[in-house]
A and B are shown apart, each in its own frame.
Chain A
Amino acid sequence: MIDGALNILVGLLLLSGAFFCLVASIGLLRLPDLYTRMHAASKAGTVGSGMALVAMAIHSANVGDAARAMAGVIFFILTAPVSAHLLAKAAHDMGYPLWRNSVRDDKKASDEGKDENSH
């Protein structure tokens, strides 16, 4: 009885994780510029693989495997925003343009403010 309920929970987690991955890749393909694509990939992609790993933790038989799977989830949650931020900062500093219909560029404005202060 409890086994069947756990199996159904694991199946639902797998399905929703794969759905999030699919949404992330559609966003990666359809969004207009690097910075919006990064929004889709780093958030939805992390949730997709994280849900699959949580499903593996629930499905695994002993505590050690479950703990390792949860450690993997925590690791991805910690590293995905860091790598996305690094890539976005590098691309923005090197002048890769925003989408032409974008209305604000807060980082550019704050960088110019810093230049004025330093002179």
Chain B
Amino acid sequence: MSEFGAGFLDQAALIALYMLSASFLLTVLRVIIGPTLPDRILSLDMLVSIVIGFIAVIGIRSGFALYVDIAIALGLVGFLATVAFARFVMMRGHVGDDTKADEIEQERTS
């Protein structure tokens, strides 16, 4: 039972790493294709939470519990970055401005 448990945990951590890599790539794709600034900000927020999952899996596989602190620090940084980006979206002004008209048009047609 305990041998099977150890082997199962090893395989499960490996499969979880593959799935997290796939979701990381899909989220990076959304960062690239946009189409608007808030979409990219949201994707970056999602990237942070995927990386926290990565850190937890790596911590379990390697046995270093110290990785928990890194995960918490990364979560704090991600939260503050998203808040700052939301302020930036507010400060950048209304969508009716010329700078974002083509961006919104792209969103409508896609």
Contact = CB atoms under 8 A, between A and B. Distances in A.
Interface residues of A, number: 63
Chain B interface mostly: helix
Interface of A is mostly: helix
A27 to B, nearest CB: 10
A17 B53 contact: yes
A41 B45 CA distance: 8
Interface residues of B, number: 63
A82 B93 CA distance: 22
Contact of B43 (A5, A28, A56): A28
Given A34-B36, A95-B94, A96-B36, A4 B89 contact: no
Contact of A8 (B5, B16, B22, B92): B5
A100 B107 CA distance: 10
A4 B2 contact: yes
Contact of B12 (A15, A86, A87): A15
